[in-house]
Amino acid sequence: MAPHEIKSGSVMYSHGIEVYQEHKAYQSEDNFQIEKWAWIDTEGKEPFRKVKELPKNKVYMMNPPKFDRVHDMAELVYMHEPSVTYSGLFLVAINPYRKLPIYSTENIRGESGAGKTENTKIAIQYLASIAGNGSNGFGADSQSKLEEQILQANPILEAFGNAQTIRNNNSSRFGKFIRIAFNRYGDIKGAFIDWYLLETSRVHTQTLEERNYHIFYQLLNASKEMKEQLVLKGKCPADFNYTKNSNHTIQGVDDAAEYNKLIKSMDIMGITTEERLEFFRIVAAVLYLGNTVVNHNYSRVDISHYEMACDLLGVSPQLFKKHLLEPQIKAGHEWVGQAKSFSQVKDNLDALCKVLYERNFSSLVSRINSAIDGPKSMEGMSISEGERFIGVLDIAGFEIFKINSFEQLCINYTNEKLQDFFNQNMFVLEEQEYRKENITCDDTFDYRNDLRPTISLIENVKNPIGILSCLEDECVTQGTDERLLAKISEQNMSNPRYKRDIYNEGFSVKHYAGEVKYSTEGWIDKSKDPLNEHVARLFAESKNQHVATLFKDYSTASIVSARADLKKTLGRTRKGGGNFHTVGYKHKQQLSLLMNTLHTTRPHFVRCILPNDRKRPGEIQSNLVLHQLRCNGVLEGIRICRVGYPNRMPFEQFREQYKLLCPEVVLDEQDSRKACQLLLYSVNKLTADQYQIGRTKVFFKAGILGDLEEQRNIKLSDIFIKIQAGCLGLIARRRVLRRQSQVKLIRVIQRNSRIYIDIMQSRLWKVFHRRKELQYTFGEDNAFKKKIDDLEQILAATQEEFQMVNRNQLKQIEYQETQHKQMVAEYKDRIQRLESEIICLEEENNEWVEKYHLLEERYAQLETDYVSTKEVNEEQATMLSKLHEEIKEESDENESLMIQCDDYCKENNELQEKIQLLEERLVEREAQNKQLWADLTDVGLKHNEELGHRDSLIIQLQDDIQVIKKHLQSHPIC
């Protein structure tokens, strides 16, 4: 329902925007106000459904129309979360959930995914397509094969490294950095994949809404021959502990078809059938190791159902059981068996499965690298050519869940480091821009260390000790989760980014994306990964060559060399010895390697956005998108880019945009830089510290450009008002002319009507009319006689009328002669007056001619302004169509909500009836309880009376017994 007419000077709210009506603007018939481009509701009418009235402190300032569809949010005048639209700092990729006709089948293959992984594939496919000419590489055939292998690396990595999570059906649970090398001619020479931070805990633990890695379910849906070789015939996910508590299927995904795609990709990659079987054998062994049953009988621990896993791994079941339950330790010069507890055996099994899967994954990535690295890709190239590569980093984003554990801390710590890397990079770019334009900034511009307190809180080694270092120390000293929390709080209580939980269940860390509460439950066990060194040595001596290769660093020769270089080995702790690994330390070391690699590159940033959690095309959930923009660092990036002078415009653009403010100042100025200086000096309420003039651009502090835009809008409003006034005046004059012509026509009709009435009342007309009637009444004989009579009557009547007319004419002639004499005298006087007025009018005409020339010049200027405003109106027309589409979508959604509301009302009525029935039953039950209580009281009283009576009888009997005893004592029986 469209709102009614707006009163001048009123304040209205439209979609939460405060709009002040300065004057009564022109409105169309449907009361849509063109000037504000919004529906306005006023009192006395039913409000529009979308309108909300909010308190003033919750109403945000709206950016001027100039900033609609701006490519860089850092340029916005008012920066707050409701105004988030675009960001030029990042390439923001939104999942459309539909196939878009923007890529050909030769460039893009595969289904539409959900975020970073799919965009990574698209980037790699794009690079392979534009650099795939083979002009100076290996030749057309080998080049096309290499590019196809690079593209087919993704399906293999997704099968082993991706899994279903709560938010994504194909989420990458590891980070990968894909480097594509080019020769001097721009052709692909090869590629290399670095992987980071594989989520190994997913191998043995998933929630009900998630899944293990895709490869487990694909092998359980593999071909019969493959399942027979892996001893998986007749097995399903419900038969294994590591898969039975997760989703067995994904809607719209066929694991058997995905397995066939995986086999095809491995064939293209050049992975032989034997190699493929070995990679799959490790996965099957992990499944069977997860089914190992640990029995706890009193003080003895035993295991069962482990033989199949040992057979797949090519090791002796007896030795495996011995090394797992009672590993030997050296005590002096002798080896002594150390019995493990029930929990230690379970932890060792889980750690063993994680290490097996991780090393198998690492071996698979190495095999892929050997295929896609190209034949001698770096030979014959200089150092600079060897460094010519494009890298694509795909890594997990920031995570905030209801319960955040150790995995979330590692992921968020990684994103904190990447965001800090972005801050450093953006500071360098901004600093270069300011130096180029000769702009000076104060100390507040340096935001390079904004995230250092949070990073130090997590990774510091000493003074104070960070979270990861505290965790590492507690893992080495066999600490507990409670002691870990106490130590972290003791070391970092003074850090403003740290806050301990009031219920002692964890702590909170203030990240760039917001404050995250972490629970420390189970952190010690998750970080230890207590790999049994004796079992690892057993695997190094496996009959299976692939298994032995995975654990070759635990062979006898490798151990000797490793001990000499223990400090350089990745994943070993600073304290203690042996092969005791901590996940936190390993994570920090891998992240350090990744950051060192990134610092040698020239980065570009992509942020992937999930538009809705229902996976529907054309639907955007604002809160979800805003949460992602906050978590993936877009808002943080915009914040740091707004430090200093975020708004900047070239001199020519600024002059053309704001010359309306002082047109007379810059009218004759040819130099654009001086013109900008004159404009800025002439603008009111603008001080020198609010802007700086560079060599080619004008730089403004945040919000200043909005003030200038507001003043420009006021000037434009005055021009539009004058144009509207001229148009409305023209319309009004046309209406008056139309009305005057209508009045003339009405008067003509009235005059003709009066003449007709007078004729009808004349005697001559009556005689004529009567004669025509008689002409048809009488015969031809009487007609002639009747005509003579009529003519005599007419003659008599005409004579009378002629005499009367003569008398009247004489009177009129006399009157006209007197009037004529008077008029002649008046005309002479009027002629004299007119001659004097003509002289005055000629003088005024000359003045009006001059004014007309001035108005022509003014009209030309208005015409140029009208062309510019017409372009603005066309842009606003497109905005209007989008608003109508949004209104239609909201109305559809409201209809569905009304249906739901009706259902809820029905359910509410049913519940009220049930409540009433229950209340009636409750009243009846209370009455019954009162009656039962009264009966119980009566029975209790009677019972007490009986007890009293019995007590008196007992006392009497006791007295009688005493009397009898005394009697027997005095008279004993013989």
Catalytic residue set: 112-113, 117, 168, 171-172, 397, 399
- At 464, which helix (H) or strand (E)? none
What stretches of 470-587 adopt beta strand conformation (E)?
A: 498-500, 506-511, 514-519
Determine the Cα–Cα distance for residues 425 and 398; give it in Å rounded to an integer.
20
- Inter-residue contact 155 to 101 (CB < 8 Å): no
- Number of CB atoms found within 10 A of residue 370's CB: 12
- Number of CB atoms found within 10 A of residue 296's CB: 13
CA atoms within 13 A on the CB side of 60: 11
- Inter-residue contact 118 to 112 (CB < 8 Å): yes
β-strand pairing of 91-94 with 606-609: parallel
* Distance spanning both ends of the chain, measured CA to CA: 122
Determine the Cα–Cα distance for residues 229 and 276; give it in Å rounded to an integer.
12
CA atoms within 13 A on the CB side of 369: 14
Determine the Cα–Cα distance for residues 279 and 364; give it in Å rounded to an integer.
7
Determine the Cα–Cα distance for residues 921 and 906; give it in Å rounded to an integer.
23
- Inter-residue contact 325 to 302 (CB < 8 Å): yes
The residue among 112, 80, 79, 110 whose CA lies nearest residue 93 is 112
Residues contacting 687, CB < 8 A, separation 6+: none
Peptide bond into 375 cis (omega under 30): no
Q: What distances in angstroms separate CA 475 from CA 314, 471, 481, 484, one per listed residue? A: 32, 6, 10, 9
Q: What distances in angstroms separate CA 669 from CA 139, 681, 686, 862, one per listed residue? A: 61, 14, 21, 21
- Inter-residue contact 541 to 550 (CB < 8 Å): no
Q: Length of the chain in residues, anyone?
A: 974
Identity of residue 722: K
β-strand pairing of 647-650 with 697-700: antiparallel
